[in-house]
Structure 1
Amino acid sequence: MFLSVIVLLLIACGKEVEEGSEAGATGGDTKEFIIMATTFKFDVKEIKVKQGDKVKITLKNKKGHHALKLEGYNKQVRPNRSISFVANKKGEFEYKCATYCGADHKKMIGKLIVK
């Protein structure tokens, strides 16, 4: 009995909902993007999706300590984590480093384009 309770607890706790995930998204595949952060730059400068697409962005730190903030969607992702959301607003939205990382910190920017 005790073992059954432990197994159920592990199953219930094992699936973590990602920070910033959006409930209620239906249909279609998720557009997944991995962004590598290094000294004062992101390797992905532009992300293009269609309005209504489900989007997943994962941030990997190759060098230094960085986080990513996506303007217009009020989303932020920490190192080695992901955010998921539905691109429900058309337009161009800047993403930038959310952790001060040195003199050229302001150069760490990219753009989400939702058509």
Structure 2
Amino acid sequence: MSLANFIEADLRGLIDDWAGYALALSQEGSQLTESQLRNSAADVLMSVAADMREAQNSAEQLTKSRGDKDAPHSVFSHVAHRHADDRLSHGFSINDVVAEFRARRATVLRRWQNTSPGRP
């Protein structure tokens, strides 16, 4: 199963894992509700899956992976920026936002690997 298809198929489990981690990161006094955490997670994950399906040549992939300012603007970039701005406005530090994205990536890859046929 492609990674994009897996994200869409396991969206609920991925969101559960992510929301739990984000709640642990959120500081006391944050006005971010679990519902807001979950909605944002769905937006980000679905935009990641859509972004993976967009055709791009090798040069575009390289430019995009480096975050070059001339990189094609994707829906994911817009959603990721909006997500980060929202988290920062609710008391997350930049380190918390980066940690949350890193945890999301690790969760997606771990759960995807666990569903792969022939996994040892």
- The TM-score, its normalising length taken from structure 2, stands at 0.25
- The TM-score, its normalising length taken from structure 1, stands at 0.26
More helix by share: 2
Query: Larger relative contact order (C-alpha < 8 A, sep ≥ 6)?
Result: 2
Max Rg structure = 1
More strand by share: 1
